[in-house]
Amino acid sequence: MPAAAPAAMPSLWMIVASFLFACMGVCVKLGSADFSTAELVFYRGAIGVVLMAAVSRLRPTPLATPYWRLQLSRGISGSIALMCYFFALGILPLATAVTLSYTSPIFVALLLVLWFGERVRRSAFAAILIGFGGIALLLHPTLEPSQWKGAVAGLAGGLLASLAYLSVRELGRAGEPEVRTVFWFSVITAALALPWALFEGMRMPDVHGALALLGIGLFGGAAQLAMTRSYRYGRTVVSANLSYSTVVFSSLFGVALWGEMLPAEAWGAIALIVASGVMVSLATARRPG
């Protein structure tokens, strides 16, 4: 049926975005052997600035924003979340780091209740408890002592990402184009990471390092565009649930590239966290009547 393809496109865009985010995670893990977290984050932002500026030229979109406070809020929270995520990727198995970063829907649900005073269904609170149970199971019996810094950073990234998502929600309601939002996020990311990278000392990349850095920027920027297109044209709840395919792709990459065979408790914890995120998105899709 001709109409079926357009209807399925938003879901396809989210699958594409999830795959590209997993590819970015692979490049970060490869680059973390040669570059500091600050360098990786800086190049992610700098390449994103160039990419979004080019996209804005192809489909003319002014980059000046009337919503600079929301853009600043989204950019700062999102940039620090990215720093935490990249740091976690350098220490933890790929699937574990990605899963901890995807705890953000759990924190979003809490913030909607505590900060915005929104009512959610009782099932959302049950999902939150399941999610935190999964986090506890993932952290306690399965991590080595040397990995705890990465675990704390991953959880902090999930919390900060939830703040960024709330700003993105407000920017979308205000009609801000996705290219402009990604552009300013990239600008703020590069600006925040550059002093840190210079302080630690930036190094000249070789061919393999340059490819990893380029992959981080290109995969990350393209993934954000695909994700925002999915949310713009599809049902939010469907897009949010399909985004968890990033965990699946990352798990496959971790096994194929690094032989990351996680214990059964870790896979059970990952399943609980993913199930919690899906339940939260379903429970908050509509206000209870």
CA distance 284 to 131: 15
In tens, the pLDDT along 76-110 reads 999 999 999 999 999 998 988 998 888 877 777 77
Provide the 10 A C-beta neighbour count for residue 121. 17
Q: What is the pLDDT of residue 10?
A: 75
Q: What is the pLDDT of residue 238?
A: 66
Of 89, 128, 163, 112, whose CA–CA distance to 273 is shortest? 128
Residues 6 or more apart in contact with residue 145 via CB below 8 angstroms:
none
Of 25, 14, 48, whose CA–CA distance to 227 is shortest? 14
Question: pTM of the predicted model, to two decimals?
Answer: 0.84
In tens, the pLDDT along 170-200 reads 887 788 888 898 899 999 999 999 999 999 9
Q: What is the pLDDT of residue 288?
A: 41
> Which residue type, as a one-letter code, is found at position 126?
A
Residue 215: both structure tokens together: 């992959």
CA neighbours within 13 Å on the CB side: how many for 220?
31
Taking the alpha carbons at both ends of the chain, their separation in whole angstroms is 36
Residues 6 or more apart in contact with residue 249 via CB below 8 angstroms:
18, 19, 21, 22
Q: What is the pLDDT of residue 147?
A: 86
Q: What is the pLDDT of residue 5?
A: 40
Averaged pLDDT in 10-residue chunks for the chain of 289 residues = 53 89 96 94 95 91 92 93 94 90 78 70 77 78 77 90 80 84 94 95 92 95 82 66 84 91 83 83 57
Specify the DSSP class assigned to residue 63: -
* Pure H helices in 32-61: 37-58
DSSP H helix total and E strand total for the chain: 12, 0
CA distance 88 to 93: 9
Residue 101: both structure tokens together: 């970063």
Q: What is the pLDDT of residue 142?
A: 60
